[in-house]
Structure 1
Amino acid sequence: MQIQPDTSYRIIVDSDDRPEGPQTINGCELAADASCPGIDLSHQDLSGMVLDGADLRGAILTRADLSGASLKGADLSGADLRGADLGKAFLQGLVARGADLTGASLDYSRMAGADFSGSDLTAASLEAVWANKAKFVGCRIVAANLAEAKFYHADLAEAHLAANNIRFAIWEGVHMENCEGCPVDW
């Protein structure tokens, strides 16, 4: 017996394009240098947006789509980025101290000089990220995908690493003082 799909109903497709220029969500105009600390942007499509220098401290970005976004020099300290998609994002100089990035995807993003000190990267995916001179001081990086990540001269002092996929990751010049589980013999 073969089951046929029910085609008697119309399939709804979202065909609205994003409006040109900055978007205003929850009273905040999202653009470069925006100041929106604590804003709730959970589940929002922010893909490709330019938020360079934005103040998003303590923002709720749970499951937000920030893929391809530019957050150069933005401040996401204390932000909730659980399950957020930051794949192929430009995060150079980003400050995300104490942020929760549990289950977030940062695959192929550029994060040179970013500061993730004290952040939680449990089950995050950082495949092929470019994290030269990035700070992961005191970070929790457990069950994360670090395959092909480039950590040239990064700082992982006091970090806690365990059960990560580190296949082909580069740890050249990484500061690992008091790091628990760091690949000192890579």
Structure 2
Amino acid sequence: MLRSLTFLAALALASGVHAANSEQTGGSWPVIVDEPTPREGPLVISTCEIRPGAACPGADLRHADLRGLKLNGIDLKGANLMRANLFGAELKGADLTGADLRGANLQMGQLQGVVMRDADLTGANLDYTRMAGADLSGANLTAATLEAAMAPKSKFVGARLIGANLMETKFYNADFAEALLEGNHAPYAIWEGVHMENCTGCPVDW
């Protein structure tokens, strides 16, 4: 009998709490969303205002969330973008010479004319990017993935592509002179018109 009374008391208490909550929320449960609060004003990281044409050489942008931002023409020479999220970002004509892009996500990015000379792109994700005319001379693309990227007339002079994913990448008329290619996964990659002078591991018999 005592156990039954205890159960009935707990049930009554729970009903009272539910009724109180219903009164506070107009008879319905509050809606909980997991979307981030919209950003107000310009994005400022490491004292740099992140916007098109900004001059931010050497900026510390590690792990920064830069998804979908328009950063055309930005100067990020020598910047630290390790594991930064640049998914779908626009970096047309941007200068990332010598930047640290290890593990960065550039998937679906608009990188036409971007300059990444001597940049470290180890493990970076460049899948489905548009990088016509990009300059990656001397860049390190070890273990990077460029699946289905469009890279016509791009420069990979002296670049290192080791263990990279080049599946269905389009390299029309690109320049791979002095580059090093080793152990890459490149089924259906297109090498038409590619310059391969003194390239080690280039598919010269493609």
- Tell whether the structures are fold-level matches, with TM greater than 0.5: yes
Summarize the alignment of residues 99-118 of structure 1 with structure 2, pairs less than 5 Å apart: 99-118=119-138
1:77-102 deviations in Å (ceiling 9; x for gaps): 00000000000000000001000000
SS of 1:141's equivalent? strand
Which of residues 110, 116, 140 in structure 2 aligns to 1:96? Answer: 116
Aligned equivalents of 2:109, 2:53: Cα separation in 1: 17
* TM-score computed with the length of structure 2 as normaliser: 0.83
Secondary structure at the counterpart of residue 161 of structure 1: strand
Choose the corresponding residue for 2:47, options 10, 16, 27: 27
Residue in 2 that maps onto 1:137? 157
CA-based RMSD of the aligned residues comes to 1.3
Deviation at 1:17, TM superposition (A): 3.3
Structure exhibiting the larger radius of gyration computed from Cα positions: 2
The partner residue of 2:142 within 108, 122, 125 is 122
The alignment's TM-score, normalised by the length of structure 1, stands at 0.91
The total of aligned residue pairs comes to 175
Structure 1 runs, 4 residues or longer, greater than 6 Å off:
none
Query: What does 1:40-119 correspond to in 2, within 5 Å?
Result: 40-119=60-139
Measured after TM superposition, the shift of residue 21 of structure 1 is: 5.3
Instruction: Report the identity percentage.
Output: 64
* Paired AA for residue 101 in structure 2: L
Q: After superposition, give the CA deviation of every residue in 1:2-40 in whole Å (9 maximum; x if it has no partner).
A: xxxxxxxxxxx8532341553111111101001000000
After superposing the two structures, state which structure 1 stretch, 32-41 or 18-27, moved more: 18-27
Q: Distance in 1 between matches of 2:185 and 2:41?
A: 39
- Shift of the alpha carbon at 1:152? 0.2
2:93 and 2:118 map into 1 onto residues whose CA distance is 16
Whole-Å separation in 2 of the counterparts to 1:137 and 1:120 = 11
Match of 2:14 in 1: none
SS of the equivalent of 2:161 reads: strand
**In 2, Cα distance between the equivalents of 1:64 and 1:175?**
32
Q: Return 5+ residue gaps in structure 2 as ranges.
A: 1-32
Give the Cα–Cα distance (whole angstroms) in 2 for the partners of residues 152 and 20 of structure 1. Answer: 42
Report which of the two has the higher share of helix: 2
Partner letter of residue 155 of structure 2? K
> Where does structure 1 lack aligned partners over 5 or more consecutive residues?
1-12
Partner of residue 146 from structure 1, selected from 147, 161, 166: 166
